[in-house]
Each structure stands twice: as C-alpha cells, then as structure tokens.
Amino acid sequence: MILPTVLLALVAVCAHSALSEVAHSTNSYLSTADRLRLKSILESGFQLEDVSTVYYAVSGYKLLGEAVPKTDAICKYLIKSNGENITPETALYLASTWKAIGGCQEFPASAVTKILTNVVQKDTSTLSDLYFAISGLTALSQKVPAARIDKLVKLIQAALRKDDSLWNLGYTFHIAADLGTPAAFAFDRIEDAVVQADEVNGQYLQFEGGLSITSFLINGILKLSTSLKKKPSLNFQQTVKFSNYLLSRRSVQTAKGVTNLLSALTTLAVDSSEKPICVTLADGGIVISNQQPLVTVKVCDILGQALPTVPKVVANSATRVGDDVVILSNENLQSSTSDKTLFTMNLMNVKPDRGFYKVSITASSVTNTITVKVLSEAILDYLEIGTGDADQTTQPKLTRVNTESPSSKLDHKIEADSQQKLVMRFLLRDSSNKKPMRVHQAFVRLTSASASTNKRGHEIFFVAEPDAAHVYKFDMPVGTAAANFGYQSGEYNMELIIGDAVISNPFRFNIGTVTLKFPELSSTEVGEKSASYKQKPNVYTTKPEIKHMFREPERRPPAFVSNLFTGLCLAPVLLLLILWARLGINISNFPLSLSAITFHIGLGGIFVLFGIFWLKLNMFVTLRYLLGFGVVTFLAGNKMLSQIAHRHKSQR
C-alpha cells in the first residue's frame, strides 16, 4: 500500500506544479521620457496659486528625485497661506510641504499642530478629517496623545460599521499605520478592500474610481503592512496587475494625478514584499537582421531602476508566429557591461527565417513574452519583359533585364499595340537561404514619359501576382487597359516596387520605357468621355440641402358628410333626453351618499375618457386610466346598490 500512496502523492505534486500560475512580469516601466513629461506637468504647481497644487508639485519632485526649485518663495507662500480658519486638509498640505522642502524656519508649525490636534480631540470628526489630522501630525513629527488612541480606535470602528466604502477603508489603513499596534484591527480589513478590485483583460487591477482611489489604497495597504511588519493579503500577480494599471495611466495631465501615480509606483517598487519586475524589449529592439542581430531585453523594476542583484536571464523558447516552429530553447542572455538592466542574445546565430517570433524570457523567477521581427534582404533574381498576342495564340517574346544594379534597365524600348499584351515575369529570393520568396507588396507602376511640370500625365499601378513556384507574373492586355490610361498612346516609364514588413530593403527597380498604342475612340465614346470629365470637377461641390418632407394629409370629406356623421353619433343622446321627458325623471329618489356620488362621477369620467381616447389618446394609455376609473366606479356602484337594496328591504 505504500507504493500506490507515494505514486499518488507524486501525481498530485506534478499536477499542482503544472496548474500553478506562472509569475509574469509587468508590461512596461517608468522610462526616462516618462519622467521628463511628468516633471513638466508638475512645473505648473510652482506658480504658487493653490496650496494643494504646491503640495503635489513638491511631493512629485521629491518622488522623481529632483531638487525642488524656488524653496524660499514656497516658504513665504506657506507662511502667507497659514491661518486660524484653515481646514484639516489644507493643514496637511502645509505641514507635508514644509517637511518636504526643509529649511523653512519661520513656518508656524505650532499653529498648524494646534489645528490638527483639535480635530483629533473631537468625537464628531469624520474619518477623512482624522486622516488629514493624524497624517499632518506625523509630518510635523508630532504624536497623537496616548490617552486619545483607544478612543480614536473605537471611533474608527464605529465609522466603518456605518460605511465601509473604499475611501473609508483607505483612510483607516493610513490612520492605523500612524497609530501602530493599537489599530492593528485594520490589517484584517485589507482583504475586504482587495477583493473589490476590478480585473480588466486579465492584466490590470484597479479600484472603481480610477487612479486616485487605487493609488490611495495601495499606499495605505503597504504603509500599514510595513508599520505592523506583516505581509498583506496581496499576492505577487495582484501586485503585477496593479502595477500594470498604474503604468497604463502615465498619460495623466494634472499635478495631483502625477503625484498619485508616482507615490503608488514608488510604494510598490520599494515597500512591497514581492516587488514587481519588468521584462521587456529595450527601446528600438524589435527589429532583428544581419545588420542588427542582437535581441536586447531590459530587466528592471517598475521605476526603470536596476535590480539589487544581477539576475540570470534565459530565453526559454523562440516560436515563429503562424506555424509555431521553435527555433531555440534555453538560451542564456549576456549582461551588458555598461547598463545593468540590459541583456542581449544573438538570434541570428540560429539563422531564423524572416517573420515574427515570440520569445519567452525568464528573469528572477518571472516570465514575459516579447515579440521580435526578423528581417531578411530580398534579391531580384531575374526579370523578363516583352510582348505577346492578346489572344495567346503564340508564346510571348521576353527579354531579360540586368538586375545586378538598381540603376539597370532595358537598353531598348518595348512597343505594344491594342492587339498585344505587355508581359513581365520576375522572381525574388531570400538573401539568407536563397529560397524563392513572396512579399506583401509587388506593384508595377506606369507613368507617362511625356508629363511636364505644368501638366501631369497618367500614373497607373498594377499588382503582380505570384504562381505556385513563387514566380511573379504581370500581364496587361493593351486594348483592355486603354480606359485606365485615358486612351492616351505614347511612351510610359515602367517601374517595379517591392515592399514587405519583414524585408530590410524595400526597393524600386527602374525597368525602362515602353511604348503603348491604344485604339482610337469612336465619336460616341469621345462624347461620353468628355461628359464624364466635365462632371468630375462637380463631385465635391456643395449639394442642395435635404429637407424632410411630411406626407400630405388625406383628403377630408365634405362638411355635409362630417356634420351628418356627428349628428348620427349624438342621436342616442337626444333619444335619451326625449325618453326621460316622456317617462319622467324621479330625482328625489337619488341617494345622497358618498358611494352614489362617487359612482356617477366615475361613470361620467369613463365617458369623458372615451371621448379623449377618440380625440388624442392611444389604447395603452386609455386602458391605464380606465383601470383606475373602473375599480373606483365598481366599488362605489357595488356599495350604492347594496344601500338601495337594504333600504327597499327595510321599507317592506
């Protein structure tokens, strides 16, 4: 029984290893160009127009490692902005900015401390005010009174029971990080916050609300974890996905957004227990060719800095896109001597065919897949051109053109009339393996040789198609193509244009000059042609405005018919009045009760509703109103009839 048990254990371990999630790297990092752009956005904060903007500008410069300019002017502005009626938020901005710039000796820190302490002492302070106050005191190196800490913890817990929104959880994490162990209860709420993050495309994690709340919560979670010296319930892949989201927001345009972005990225790169790593192509390294054979990979943290120790970087595999052919495996990349973040590999050593390749790279136990493009040089192996009969009764006579030099061309002119066709054959080869190749773009360009600078001649493009042997063919029946040239016979310069995404030398080859003789136009065709040319200048002129045309109303009947129909509709009412006059109306028997009055009012309302339905309402609206009138009228009528029956019974 021992052997089967061991086998089952091994199978379980293997299955767990196969199904375990691969640790991936981030998609990108904060590059030097990103830093320069973010720095330019922060510069607007030094205009000293708003305390919060100054705070974000100074904090952003500190996070970028830049020296804060105009510190004396900022110090004077802080002193000027200080007052007795400032809010806790403004007090936090003043205290944090003062701490960041340093050397502002005249700043009244005691006055700001008094304002923040008053907020802490109030039992009615909100979580946001407590966050501003306690963070401000921490910036001023002041501690919350020990006798007040237990009361604050109870206030925070009570506030969370009423509203545990993401912002309140973020305030709680920051406050608890400053209070320390007495507020350790907040650590258990980290998982409640993380599970509310939204995942996008399996690559990004963010909190509803965008960059501000995401940055605020990440800073609070890691700040609290560092304060309590505990590992948060935030695994490595979640950290990577949060980093991917933050890096996708590098296009922020405000000083506040820049500071939120930089603070969260710095926190993840420095304070996270499992720091995210970026494995990506270095700038401009996507194209590989014989002239540039190296695949250059950048391995760094999300701030673009080198890792503490130089990692071992391995290319697990390189697979061609399209047919999944593996061209290499387990290839070690060499570290650059000048830059510790760069690693290189010579991909051309395995002589890959042209195309796109996905390369799986592993560095420091994280993996990422990069895509490179291998280029090859296209060689024009041969080119033949000539003429043949349009009805293909005889084989075309072809002349080979010297293709060794791009300046080579036909040494004589080729003439073709309307009974012939222009024929060209050519073959392209890959310079690396000498195999025939196909390209995405193979055009034949014909331009009028008689065109001058003042008069533009005809320019026509044709597509050359390859056959099964990769030989490109171009056949142009002169008579059929005459309309494309406007029936203008004469000399035309012929040129071959070759292009492709995976060749390093797209080129234009001048074939030579051909003389084309098109058939003469008949008088009818000349007229149609001139008419079509006259219409072309008017194609882009302003068209008349299109106005909506309502359908004309149906013809109304004569007035006599309308009046007669109205009279017939009112005839029952007239008959009712006549019968009432003959029989007599006993109004004295009308019961003066609420039910009787309600019944008759409801009945009259139903008749009025029918009239309005006939004039303007639709069936559905009428039925909705009729339901209300009908229920009230039915109940009132039932009550009225019960009262009449009861009265008659009592009279007997």
Tens of pLDDT, residue by residue over 474-510, are 999 988 888 888 888 888 999 999 999 999 889 999 8
3-state secondary structure of 317: strand
Token pair recorded at residue 305: 């800095």
pLDDT score of 17 more than 50: no
pLDDT at 591 over 80: no
Can you tell me the distance from the alpha carbon of 546 to that of 553, in angstroms, rounded to the nearest whole number? 21
> Residue 378 pLDDT > 70, yes or no?
yes
- Specify the pLDDT at position 265: 94
Instruction: Inform me whether the pLDDT recorded for 406 exceeds 80.
Output: no
Q: Which of 341, 328, 321, 334 is nearest to 294 (CA)?
A: 334
Instruction: Pick the more confident residue, 409 or 265.
Output: 265
Q: How far is CA 561 from CA 524, 529, 565, 613, in A?
A: 62, 62, 6, 22
311 pLDDT higher than 70: yes
pLDDT band at 62 (very low <50, low <70, confident <90, very high): very high
Mean per-residue pLDDT for 540-555?
A: 80
When pLDDT is cut at 50, 70 and 90, the band that residue 538 belongs to is low
pLDDT at 577: 83
CB 135 within 8 A of CB 174: yes
Label residue 60 by pLDDT band (50, 70, 90): very high
Reading the block at residue 429, the tokens are: 């080869």
pLDDT of residue 527: 56
Helix (H, G, I), strand (E, B) or coil at 606: helix
Q: What is the DSSP letter of 26?
A: B
Residue 90, pLDDT > 60, answer yes
pLDDT level of residue 57 (50, 70, 90 thresholds): very high
Q: What is the dihedral of CA 594, 597, 598, 602, to 10 degrees?
A: 180
**Which pLDDT value is given to residue 452?**
55
**Paired tokens of 413:** 């002119």
Query: Is the domain defined by 378-536 classed in CATH 2.60.40.10?
Result: yes
pLDDT of residue 4: 40
CATH topology of domain 32-273: Glycosyltransferase (1.50.10)
- The full set of domain ranges for the chain reads 32-273, 278-374, 378-536, 583-651
Computed over every residue of the chain, the mean pLDDT equals 85
Would you say residue 535 has pLDDT above 70? Answer: no
Mean pLDDT of 133-140: 90
Taking residues 156-184, report their average pLDDT: 90
CA–centroid distance for 524 within its chain: 57
pLDDT of residue 18: 36
Confidence (pLDDT) at 9: 37
* Range from 144-153, 204-213, 594-603 that averages highest in pLDDT: 204-213
Q: Give mean pLDDT, residues 288-296.
A: 88
CA-CA distance, 458 to 456, in Å (whole number)? 7
Residue type present at position 438? R
pLDDT at position 581 is 80
Q: Which two tokens stand for residue 569?
A: 């509709």
Exposure letters 611-649 (e unless 16+ CB within 10 A, then b): eebeeebeeeeeeeebeebeebbeebbebbeeeeeeeee
Domain 278-374 is found in CATH 2.40.50.180: no
Tokens of 101: 């710039």
Average the pLDDT over each of 359-368, 394-403, 631-640 and give the range with the smallest value: 394-403
Cβ contact 347:288 at 8 Å: yes
pLDDT of residue 525: 56
Question: Are the folds of 278-374 and 378-536 the same?
Answer: yes
Whether 205 has a pLDDT exceeding 90, the answer reads yes
For the stretch 23-43, pLDDT in tens is 788 888 999 999 999 999 999
Please state, in angstroms and rounded to a whole number, the distance separating the CA atoms of residues 625 and 618. Answer: 11
When pLDDT is cut at 50, 70 and 90, the band that residue 11 belongs to is: very low
More confident residue, 3 or 422: 422
Q: Is the pLDDT of residue 22 over 70?
A: no
pLDDT at 403 > cutoff 60: yes
Structure tokens at 484: 């494309």
What would the two tokens of residue 231 be?
């590992």
End-to-end CA distance of the chain: 102
439 phi and psi, to 5 degrees?
A: -130, 160
Note the pLDDT tens digit of each residue in 210-267.
999 999 999 999 999 999 998 888 888 999 999 999 999 999 999 999 999 999 999 9
To 5 degrees, how large is the angle CA 349–CA 353–CA 359?
A: 70
